[in-house]
Structure 1
């Protein structure tokens, strides 16, 4: 049996360590990928720091990570879209409930990906650039297109431009926000968004026709004014305080759908502590109370609000549509750019723990990437 190197979390809350694992054989609907670049997301350090509470189903040792770019080593018996040696990128879902975190995690030299959540890497993109997309674009797509959330039409060759209504993206300079702005525009919707002043021009370049300063007291008023009389088809809330701001905007403009993609408070301070208990009790209490309050506010205003799970498209028809049709088309015609720009912080599996620590410390309009 062949083996490969992997960065594993050996126990709940433990720091990553490099070891050797058996290289898996792809199932009929999977591809085995030699990983060349991975990106780091906040969920990675959340899982590492709080897995006993937030990811109670995750058994250890586990391989974390969602964002993969590399080339195909082997294909399952039913795979028709890929060949050995082809460059691809895709979404690893090993930390999801019911999955195998050692076979399907990103932070290793070889991993298996579902054919339905994998797409060819264009020659115009490096592996480092491609690696910024998988979780961000999947989460944005779930928020925009799944019927449980905004339920919008998906992009096609006929949907370029705007005019089909307005999508509010609060947090347009986040990785999910950048994908949401671009996907909404590609699907034919106008977009208004928020960002810091230094990132506002970047968000406008992605297709937002108005960008308010998310730190301004007038941000909600500014976006309502920018929307004017146009119909609002929904909002995507990203970042602390985004839920209540989006509820206010929807209530004032007649929108009725809200996709929530962030907790009301960051867990960064909690996961850095040596002991999770009892510090977690007030933190999770604040998150729970704030969430209930926001849900009640939304309900009173006739707004349907629901949390987004970025890998849930694995289990519906959005996954194969996004990864098999939409992404190749949008990357080819330039309607989707691989953003945020990658910030390569190291090479090799041993660099991944430092990369997680850097991501938790904070990064703006960039995505931390490690080459493998």
Structure 2
């Protein structure tokens, strides 16, 4: 069955003999179940990728934890997962950047509204991805290293470069920037996260100076990624310290990553004259929500807190003259930021070592049956680590 949004497909000899299995979310709140899945031929601008590594993200945990309360466009049974790295096994008729056998890392968008949910979900052996959202994996880079990138780097790029977000100049073709203290500054709150690690590198590549927050144990790692000044987000006076360090400098924007990051970031923006804050995380954590059908006290409390705290942040930002907006990582597939990042910047930057996958990958297990364990671990909380399953 097809509709206007479904690409034309044609099976061929490339798919002969291929079989597929996926980690299915068969019902709201259920554990993932590994069982057979269809093999779908790529449309004209798609790749069929044999996944060698996948990574888990908070959006996967939220969907499994809240049932149909969140992301109602994604009904069960569904295949979750956005981060994929593997080998190309078939290409669409209009594909020009890749060939069968190429090693790629890609953002899988099957979980998004209007997409084919099952073929494009990342937690399966054979994944359909868009050519425009894929990049080559350099020789010498393991799949489990590369797979930390897709949703994180897409979210970071959307936050930094989209016109509705911080609207910064792009790293591809960026004009030479002044050196030293004359450079414009981008503040990244939550630098040790996967989104923060990508944002630091992208902002530096675009010619900005980066000030970031992180626990002291991670300061040297973030300096190696390009951050010039680091502050401990747990210090009681961290906002004052960041504002003092930025005195007299032009702050181009602030990126808020992590639960509770919006409030301090709006304050920093207001006190430094930064016009915009891009928020990459919800106002509350879903970690305390029990994963079971029906309403629970934990779920009710979380949703009430989410609504009230989000509204409070938006009111405070407006009163202080700061434009604060939430960013959706995959939104770059609809604008110029997607091709800029995935086709224009990442291929050469990865190959030349100018952009490195970060944070470190922790392999939870080998095989799709370990994806559930990775989701459970992520729900408990991890720091400066991306949880990965190899296939």
TM normalised by structure 2 equals 0.92
Instruction: Give how far 1:3 is off.
Output: 2.7
8 A Cα contact 1:159 1:186, kept in partner: no
Report the Cα distance in structure 2 between the residues aligned to 1:71 and 1:42, rounded to whole angstroms. 25
- More moved, 288-297 vs 271-280: 271-280
Instruction: Give how far 1:222 is off.
Output: 1.3
Report the Cα distance in structure 1 between the residues aligned to 2:213 and 2:87, rounded to whole angstroms. 36
Give the aligned partner of residue 234 of structure 1. 253
Instruction: Give how far 1:136 is off.
Output: 0.3
Where 1:88 maps in the other structure, the secondary structure is: strand
8 A Cα contact 2:148 2:359, kept in partner: yes
Report the Cα distance in structure 2 between the residues aligned to 1:313 and 1:362, rounded to whole angstroms. 27
Give the aligned partner of residue 152 of structure 2. 136
**Could you tell me which of 199, 209, 218 is aligned with 1:199?**
218
Give the aligned partner of residue 93 of structure 1. 109
Give the aligned partner of residue 20 of structure 1. 36
**Could you tell me which of 345, 368, 374 is aligned with 1:355?**
374
- More moved, 81-90 vs 279-288: 279-288
1:72 aligns with 2:88: yes
Instruction: Give how far 1:334 is off.
Output: 2.4
Q: What is the CA deviation profile of residues 282-316 of structure 1, one whole-angstrom value per residue up to 9, with x for unaligned ones? A: 21111111111111111111111110000001111
8 A Cα contact 1:175 1:340, kept in partner: yes
Give the aligned partner of residue 42 of structure 1. 58
- More moved, 158-167 vs 348-357: 158-167
Instruction: Give how far 1:171 is off.
Output: 0.4
Report the Cα distance in structure 1 between the residues aligned to 2:161 and 2:75, rounded to whole angstroms. 32
Report the Cα distance in structure 2 between the residues aligned to 1:204 and 1:241, rounded to whole angstroms. 24
Report the Cα distance in structure 1 between the residues aligned to 2:46 and 2:376, rounded to whole angstroms. 31
- More moved, 204-213 vs 176-185: 204-213
Report the Cα distance in structure 2 between the residues aligned to 1:303 and 1:51, rounded to whole angstroms. 34
**Could you tell me which of 258, 268, 283 is aligned with 2:277?**
258
Instruction: Give how far 1:275 is off.
Output: 4.4
Instruction: Give how far 1:160 is off.
Output: 7.1
8 A Cα contact 1:240 1:264, kept in partner: yes
- Structure 1 unpaired stretches of 5+: none
Instruction: Give how far 1:333 is off.
Output: 3.1
The equivalences for 1:176-191 within 5 A come to: 176-191=195-210
Q: What is the root-mean-square deviation of aligned Cα atoms in Å?
A: 1.5
Report the Cα distance in structure 1 between the residues aligned to 2:183 and 2:120, rounded to whole angstroms. 38
Q: What is the CA deviation profile of residues 225-264 of structure 1, one whole-angstrom value per residue up to 9, with x for unaligned ones? A: 2212110000000112211101111111111111011111
8 A Cα contact 1:212 1:223, kept in partner: yes
- Structure 2 unpaired stretches of 5+: 1-15
Instruction: Give how far 1:158 is off.
Output: 5.3
8 A Cα contact 2:104 2:135, kept in partner: yes
Report the Cα distance in structure 1 between the residues aligned to 2:338 and 2:172, rounded to whole angstroms. 15
8 A Cα contact 2:68 2:75, kept in partner: no
Q: What is the CA deviation profile of residues 82-117 of structure 1, one whole-angstrom value per residue up to 9, with x for unaligned ones? A: 000000010001111111221000100001001110
Number of residue equivalences: 372
1:57 aligns with 2:73: yes
Structure 1 pair 160–34 and aligned structure 2 pair: CA distance change class (3 A): farther
Where 1:37 maps in the other structure, the secondary structure is: strand
TM normalised by structure 1 equals 0.97
Structure 1 pair 70–190 and aligned structure 2 pair: CA distance change class (3 A): same
8 A Cα contact 1:38 1:69, kept in partner: yes
- More moved, 165-174 vs 47-56: 47-56
8 A Cα contact 1:45 1:271, kept in partner: no
8 A Cα contact 1:13 1:51, kept in partner: yes
Report the Cα distance in structure 2 between the residues aligned to 1:270 and 1:90, rounded to whole angstroms. 30
**Could you tell me which of 101, 118, 121 is aligned with 1:105?**
121
Where 1:270 maps in the other structure, the secondary structure is: coil
Give the aligned partner of residue 390 of structure 2. 371
